[in-house]
Chain A
Amino acid sequence: MNMWVKTLIGILVIVALVGFLWLIMGLPGVLSREPQVIGVLEHVIIDSPAGPVDIIAKVDTGADFSAIDRSLALSLGFKPSDTETKAVMTEIGLQERPTLRFKYKIGTHEINSLATVSDRSSFSTQMLIGREDIKGLIVDPSRDFLTTPESRPPVQFFGFLNTVDSQLSRIIPIIPILGTAVVILRLLAGVRTYGIFAPTIIAVTLLSLGIIPGFPVYVFLIVTGIVVKILVLDRLNLPQVAVLSLIIFLLVLLMVGITSLPAGFTLSFNIIFFPLIISTYIVEQASKSITEHGVVQAMSLLISTLVTALLLTLYASFLIEQSATVLWTFFAVSIAATIAAGQYLGLRLSELIRFKFLRRTHVH
């Protein structure tokens, strides 16, 4: 083996090992840095002399310190300190209150608390959680019990079947259904496109952006890409991989330009990422085809790609409106339809036109 190859493999292995170690050592740290969201009411587990006790506490972001009910503290075996006191502003003015140091947990989050002790018998909760205790946590005031295992929705294997609020979980089953549409268009109608499933990915993007600004903007993107590739990039005499990379630069510049326009949309990462690679491929293939087969053939293929994407977008926007039951019926039917379309051995619709010299009407 070549020494260079060995060196390169060595570097690769070292980088991989570093990555692996970083994952192992750093992952918990990374995860704990993810801020946990808590609701207004939360179960807390107090680490008391009588053992762990589960009570319901209320988050009060208006208070500096937490507060705990005196009789609860005493019953748990705590001894509130009268020497270490805190001044607390109440309705009746500034009050000196005894304090208590103890540990408790919200979910997996452990808190060392310095709480004031008072009579909370007239309140609905025996404990208030103040700002000092929940540094690094996020409070969602519209919800309760976000950290309690029992109150979370049960984890199901087909959990996404019931999920209706997430757009993404609805798009995922739509992608293969659109794929089936491509299969049928290709095998039965003979529709040809740049990249067999490219229109599927474009359709998903258009679904998120909306057809009306999305489609024309996408066409603009592709056409500009092709023009610049032919007029500029092809004259640089670069290898294919460099040209492809420059097309990605070009498309990103165009996308950034579009988003900065007054009427531009905000493109999220998952929206731009997939069409970027697909679009690069389309730009490259179309411009190659122009030089090889002429503008007419190249453009007809490009148009059929874009029109297919448009049809798929309409289909997808119909699907996304459906209930989960209808959507998953389409899903199952599409699997069967794909297999059925693969069995079709007859002529494709386009072949009725293609084999023009075999037609009955052809007279030599």
Chain B
Amino acid sequence: MFTNRFFTYPPLGMNRRNRLIRKGNPLVSLRQVKDKLGLRSILSQNGIPTPHTYNVIHDFTDLKLIPSFSDEFVVKPDRGYGGKGIILLKRNGERFVNPSKDVYSESDIKRHIRRILDGEYSGYIAQDIAIIEQRLYPSAKLQFRHAYGLPDIRIWCFQFKPVMSMLRYPTFESKGRSNLSAGGVGIGIDLATGRPTYVHVKTMTLVERRLEDLEIPHDFVIPRWEEIKEMAVKCSKIANLQMTGVDIILDSDDQIVVLEVNGRPGLEIQNINEDSILRKISP
């Protein structure tokens, strides 16, 4: 095909991805994973660790009932996507700060929650639920230079086999969000060995970084790599989705915690790994 003139092996494009999603990801399962709370309870029933939920806010009455905020927490929309509407907060006297040092008062937080409830971060649905949950801290083994917040590991699975993986970490600019579209940095991870390969960023405003710039040791391997891959496969099976992007983190105790199972995983991971998913899933 004409694409062979451009690519050694053509990447998986949106058209084919969407066809595979239509074929392999049933709508019911997609809806299930989109609801973070629902997914969380299904995962924990299967013994898979997920972040602790402190409060679930369904409406403004729930918002009034919150006596006080804890010292550290994360606010996120239940059906948000692309990391939108998520803020990580830590108490600083009467107020709270996020990783980018923006200051939030209690009423600022409540206003943000009201926005979440109005569905502002959840596409064009009429309303959403806000979740206040445990703020997790990263494993010391995943702290690199320029890292700014909690890195997560994305395992891209197809037909319950891991296909490609990357490590994403937030930067100062991305306000604690690791999503590539928000300005997070992606590091390709070799699936077999768990070793980093390439570093890439998606947004045009950030300068390209190399592995050396991050001061990643030469012998670095993602800790508990085999278990992480197994966990992603297990989550895909539970979610009943043939194509998934499973987001996993290693917390400060090096424990595996599943953040999210994405039923419509992005294709940018191919750029990060400089490799084609199509090549890996073609028989």
Contacts and interface: CB of A to CB of B under 8 A. Distances in A.
Contacts of B272: 357
B115 A355 contact: no
B270 A239 contact: no
Contact of A352 (B3, B84, B270, B274): B3
Interface in A297-330: 297
A297 B206 CA distance: 13
Contact of A239 (B16, B118, B204, B275): B118
A292 interface: yes
20 contacts: A190-B14, A241-B118, A296-B205, A297-B203, A347-B13, A347-B15, A348-B13, A348-B14, A351-B13, A352-B6, A355-B270, A355-B271, A356-B271, A357-B272, A358-B11, A358-B271, A359-B6, A360-B6, A360-B8, A362-B274
A292 B84 contact: yes
- List the 7 closest A-B pairs by CB distance, nearest first: A347-B13, A355-B11, A345-B16, A357-B271, A357-B274, A240-B120, A351-B13
Interface in B260-276: 267, 270-272, 274-276
Contacts of A297: 203-204
Interface string B1-20: 10100111111011110010
Contacts of B10: 346-347
Contacts of A190: 14
Given A241-B118, A292-B84, A358-B276, A345 B19 contact: yes
B114 interface: yes
B13 A346 contact: yes
Contacts of B120: 239-240
A360 B119 contact: no
B181 interface: yes
Contacts of A360: 6-8
Nearest to A355: B11
A239 B127 CA distance: 12
Contact of A187 (B15, B115, B181, B182): B15
A294 interface: yes
Contact of A293 (B11, B13, B181): B181
Given A351-B11, A359-B6, A364-B274, 9 more contacts: A239-B118, A297-B203, A345-B16, A348-B15, A351-B13, A355-B7, A355-B270, A358-B276, A359-B7
A237 to B, nearest CB: 6
B198 to A, nearest CB: 7
Interface of B: 1, 3, 6-11, 13-16, 19, 84, 111, 114-115, 118-120, 181-182, 198, 200, 203-205, 267, 270-272, 274-276
Nearest to B274: A357
Contacts of B14: 190, 348, 351
Contacts of A293: 181, 203
Most buried by A among B3, B7, B9: B7
Contacts of A20: none
A287 B1 CA distance: 40
A190 B16 CA distance: 13
A234 to B, nearest CB: 12
A362 to B, nearest CB: 7
Interface of A: 187, 190, 237, 239-241, 292-294, 296-297, 344-348, 351-352, 354-360, 362, 364
Given A346-B13, A346-B15, A357-B271, A294 B205 contact: yes
A210 to B, nearest CB: 32
B170 to A, nearest CB: 15
- Point out which of A190, A293, A297, A356 has the most chain B C-beta atoms below 10 A from its C-beta: A293
Nearest to A360: B8
Contacts of B119: 240
A240 B119 CA distance: 8
A344 B267 CA distance: 18
A321 to B, nearest CB: 33
Nearest to B268: A354
B124 to A, nearest CB: 9
A240 B14 CA distance: 31
A338 to B, nearest CB: 14
Contact of B270 (A237, A345, A358): A358
B203 A294 contact: yes
A152 to B, nearest CB: 45
Q: Quick one: which of A294, A351, A356 has the most chain B CB within 10 A? A: A351
A357 B270 CA distance: 8
Contacts of B16: 345-346
Contacts of B205: 294, 296
A16 B114 CA distance: 32
Interface hub of B6, B200, B274 (most chain A Cβ within 10 A)? B6
Contacts of B3: 346-347, 352
B175 to A, nearest CB: 10
Given A240-B118, A352-B3, A345 B15 contact: yes
A237 B111 contact: yes
A187 B182 CA distance: 25
A351 B115 CA distance: 34
A21 B205 CA distance: 62
